[in-house]
Amino acid sequence: MVEVKIPRDHPRYWSLLLRERIVEGMKKGVVVPQGLIAHGRGECFDYIIGERTWPPAEEAVKAGVAAFLLAKHPVISVNGNTAVLVPREIVEFSELTGAKIEVNLFYRTREREEKIAQILYEHGAREVLGVGEDASATIPELHSERRRVSPRGILVADVVFVPLEDGDRTEALRRMGKTVVTVDLNPFSRTAQKANITIVDNIVRAMPLMIKYARELREKPRRELEKILENYDNKKILGSMIKIVLERLGELAEKGVFVDKG
C-alpha cells in the first residue's frame, strides 16, 4: 500500500488528509468506489463555501439537535463514508441524545455491514443495529438495498439523521412520516431539498458542532427546544446557503479571488 505523507504546511492539508482517509477506507473495503465520487463532489462544494461553517448551517445544526433531543426514537444512519470520517463523533452524539446507531448502506454487503459496525464498536458504540438478520424490515417503495432496515431502528424511528444520503431514501423516509435531518455539502441535492433540516456543511465540521449543541441544549427545558423547531424554516436556510455560494462566486468573478470575511 502506498503511504502518502502530506506536509503539514500544505495549504490544503486538511482537505488532503480527509481524502487520504476516504481512500484508506476504500482499500479496507469500508468505503465503496462510488464513495470517492461522492467525496469529490463534497470537496467541490466545500471549496466554494470556503471550507467553513456558515451561520445558516449552525442554525440548522441547532434545529437538528433540538429535533433529536425531543424525539421518542431518534436513529443515526451510518454509511461507509460517515463511518470513516466521523466514527467517534457519531458514538458521542448518540450517547448525548440517546439515539440508536444503525448501519444503512446503498451498496449493501454483509462484509461491509460488519466492518462498519466494527469501526463503531471500536469507537465505543454499545449497540449497532442494521447488521445481518437485524436488517429484516423494509422501507416501502424503495428499491435500493437501503430499503432494508432494523425493526428496532429506522423502521420505528420518528427522527432520523441521514448524512451523505441519496435522494430516494430521504423522500421515502419523509413519506413514512419521519423527520429527516441531513448533512450535505451540496445545497442543490435532492436530499438537501427534501429533508426537514439540512445542514450544508462538511460532516467533519458539522458533527463536533452537533456534539457541542447537544451538550448545551440537553440542559434546556423542552419548551425551549420546541421553540427552536417552531421558528426553523429549512427553505430559508437553504436559500441563505445558496446566496452564500452566489456571493462567493460573484466575488471570484469580479475580483479574481474569494474575499474571506473570516
CB atoms within 10 A of CB 171: 18
| Total of residues contacting ligand PTJ (CB under 6 A) | 25
Q: Which of 53, 81, 196, 198 binds ligand PTJ (CB under 6 A)?
A: 81
User: What number of CA atoms fall less than 13 Å from residue 234's CA on the CB side?
Assistant: 21
Cβ–Cβ under 8 Å, residues 22 and 33: no
Nearer to ligand PTJ, 39 or 248 (CB): 39
CB atoms within 10 A of CB 1: 7
From the number of C-beta atoms within 10 Å of its C-beta (0-12, 13-18, 19+), residue 235 rates as exposed
User: Is 35 among the residues that bind ligand PTJ (CB under 6 A)?
Assistant: yes
Contact segment (CB under 6 A) with ligand PTJ among 66-74, 152-160, 185-193, 211-219 equals: 185-193
User: Is 183 among the residues that bind ligand PTJ (CB under 6 A)?
Assistant: yes
Site string for ligand PTJ, 42-61 (x = CB under 6 A): x--x----------------
C-alpha cell at 191: 436530499
User: Is 105 among the residues that bind ligand PTJ (CB under 6 A)?
Assistant: yes
Q: Which of 32, 139, 172, 241 binds ligand PTJ (CB under 6 A)?
A: 32
> Alpha-carbon distance 78 to 173, whole Å?
15
From the number of C-beta atoms within 10 Å of its C-beta (0-12, 13-18, 19+), residue 222 rates as exposed
Q: Which of 25, 80, 130, 187 binds ligand PTJ (CB under 6 A)?
A: 80
Binding site for ligand PTJ (CB under 6 A): 32, 34-35, 38-39, 41-42, 45, 79-81, 85, 105-107, 164-166, 183-186, 189, 202-203
